[in-house]
Amino acid sequence: MAAKKAEQVLVDQWRGILAVHARTLCELDRELHPHGLGASDFEVLDVLAEGAAPDGGGYRVQEIADRVHLSQSALSRLIGRLEKDGLVTRGMCPEDRRGVQVCLTPKGRDLRDEVLPVQRAVLTRMLADDAAECG
């Protein structure tokens, strides 16, 4: 009986995590939409902005996929949209010509910087609400 109860606590915790994630993602999408971005779009821009080298270097697609938790095919489509909007560029990876490197454009950096406070405010509000419920 105790094992079943412990298992149910684990399942409830997992479902709670999923619920917080879903609510936060929906709120991010809603708040970022007026800026022409979705939550995943912003995550890619944010990852690129945080890790951009001074020489304008970027990340390989696989490195981005590992950080934003999207499949490589979903990420490729997203990067294609960002590239079409002039927010990122794609090119050959200098270290491995088989790889694709993604770089943030000045327009992409400006949009990310403009929207950053919106995204951080949503995270603060949603995750603080969740912490209050758990505490």
Q: In this model, does residue 100 exceed pLDDT 80?
A: yes
Q: In this model, does residue 48 exceed pLDDT 80?
A: yes
Short-list 101, 120, 110, 113, CA closest to 53 = 101
Going along the chain from its start, the domains and CATH numbers come out as 2-134 (1.10.10.10)
What does each C-alpha distance from 74 to 39, 42, 54, 98 come to in angstroms?
A: 13, 14, 28, 19
What's the pLDDT score for residue 99? 77
Residue with tokens 């991010």: 28
What's the pLDDT score for residue 15? 95
What's the pLDDT score for residue 98? 72
Q: In this model, does residue 135 exceed pLDDT 60?
A: no
Q: pTM to 2 decimals?
A: 0.84
What's the pLDDT score for residue 129? 62
| Tokens, residue 14 | 């997992």
Mean pLDDT of the chain: 88
Q: In this model, does residue 14 exceed pLDDT 90?
A: yes
Q: What number is the average pLDDT over the span 85-94?
A: 89
